[in-house]
Amino acid sequence: MFGKGIRLFTIFGFEVKLDWSWLILALLITWSLAAGLFPAMYEGFSTSIYWWMGAAGTIGLFFSVVFHELAHSLVARRHGIPMHGITLFIFGGMAEMTEEPQNPKSEIYMAVIGPITSIIIGLICLGVYYAWHGALSQSPVGGVINYLGFINLVLAGFNLIPAFPLDGGRILRSILWATKKNLRKATSIASKIGSGFGFLLLILGVVNIVSGNFIGGIWIFLIGLFIRGASQSSYQQLLVRQALEGEKVSRFMKKDPITVTPDLAVDDLVEDYIYRYHHKMFPVQEDNRLRGCVTINDVKNIKKEERDRHKVSEIIDECSDSNTISPDTDAVEALSRMRKNQKTRLMVVENGNLVGVLTLKDMLEFLNMKMDLEEELG
């Protein structure tokens, strides 16, 4: 779903990243707090104080979302669900699962802990605010604490809506899963409900826009669009996982792939290989020893008129986890690695030797055929 993003820090072994879209949200929240909410609720402060309050509120919300997603990740790890990390984006945050929960019990524990964490944070903030109400009620610090208490409760309430893939939707899916004993059917039902809720938000957003609440309407519309898309894509991801589950990379790889040598001129690489075979990546071998690979992006870094003066050896990408994979690796992991590193081709390597090339195109063709066949068989 996301690109590489900005790596911020690691907590309890989970890498926290910031998608570029979250910066837009941060600016909008800071502006709305500094120019709207705080001046309306707390009069008499200077403009600079309101902006400091807005920035503090945004930072507080950031850590609130991190703790919410961290709670998901810790419970998921305890139940044996691999987690890649936490990414914050324009509509909140997401704990990145690489596998589905193993049973309904794991799902419901993982889903419910997020809203519980937000409720706890909200109650603590409100408890502090009202315990020292006399000192905090008309202070900038008190305003920020009160806001964080309120927004965490709103965050918990919104996430408990039974619309997949929100936490409430995952709770619903776990109940359906336990009842129907079928994860695919449970996900299909929960996904349709989530998609329907997203559609209602789209309509509500349009109504608000027409009624004159343009900014609010746009946000409601965008959230509806996101939930609708996320619910549908989550179901598709489940189908993909189930279709590829248990399959090994060796089944999809092309043996005896086309390779190039490090002494090949970049100009010849373009004319004789890229334009001829239409591949975006070529393994580089020298005396049957794998040196790495060369990609179209590497070629783009050299001016067209200078390509005849440069060799492939100058632009080789060395072998790494981002461009190589073992033939015994599960196909689901291969697809996840391609998505994470934004690759469409991986070199298949065994004991340091190139044994094939795995392409996204071949995997998708297999997926389409298998899913169509299973649909035909009913």
Q: Where are the domains of the chain?
A: 6-160, 249-377
Distance CA 22, CA 40 (A): 26
Distance CA 55, CA 258 (A): 54
Residues in a beta bridge with 350:
353
Please report the sign of the dihedral spanned by the C-alpha atoms of residue 250, residue 252, residue 258, residue 263: negative
Distance CA 249, CA 244 (A): 10
Contacts 24+ apart (CB under 8 A), 14-17: 14/70, 14/73, 14/83, 14/85, 14/86, 15/84, 15/85, 15/86, 16/66, 16/85, 16/86, 16/87, 16/88, 17/85, 17/86, 17/87, 17/88
How far is CA 251 from each of CA 291, 337, 360, rounded to the nearest angstrom?
24, 17, 13
To the nearest 10°, the Cα dihedral for 85, 184, 221, 148?
-40
Phi then psi for residue 351, to 5 deg, are 55, 35
Distance CA 177, CA 57 (A): 39
- Stated as kind and residue range, the H or E segment containing 87 is strand 83-89
* Cα three-residue angle 154-160-165, rounded to 5 degrees: 115
Local confidence pLDDT in tens for the 378 residues of the chain = 445 567 888 888 888 888 887 888 889 889 989 988 899 888 889 999 999 999 999 999 999 999 999 999 999 888 888 777 788 776 667 777 767 788 899 999 999 999 999 999 999 999 998 888 777 778 899 999 999 999 999 999 999 999 888 899 999 999 999 998 888 899 999 999 999 999 999 999 999 999 988 877 888 898 888 889 888 888 888 878 877 878 899 998 999 899 999 999 999 999 999 999 999 999 999 988 999 999 999 999 899 899 999 999 999 999 998 899 999 998 888 888 888 788 899 999 999 899 999 998 888 888 888 777 765 444
- CATH H superfamily, domain 249-377: CBS-domain (3.10.580.10)
Cβ neighbour number for residue 202 with a 10 Å cutoff:
18
Cβ neighbour number for residue 277 with a 10 Å cutoff:
10
How far is CA 156 from each of CA 68, 116, 167, rounded to the nearest angstrom?
9, 7, 9
Tokens coding 251: 């089944």
140, 86 contact by CB (below 8 A): no
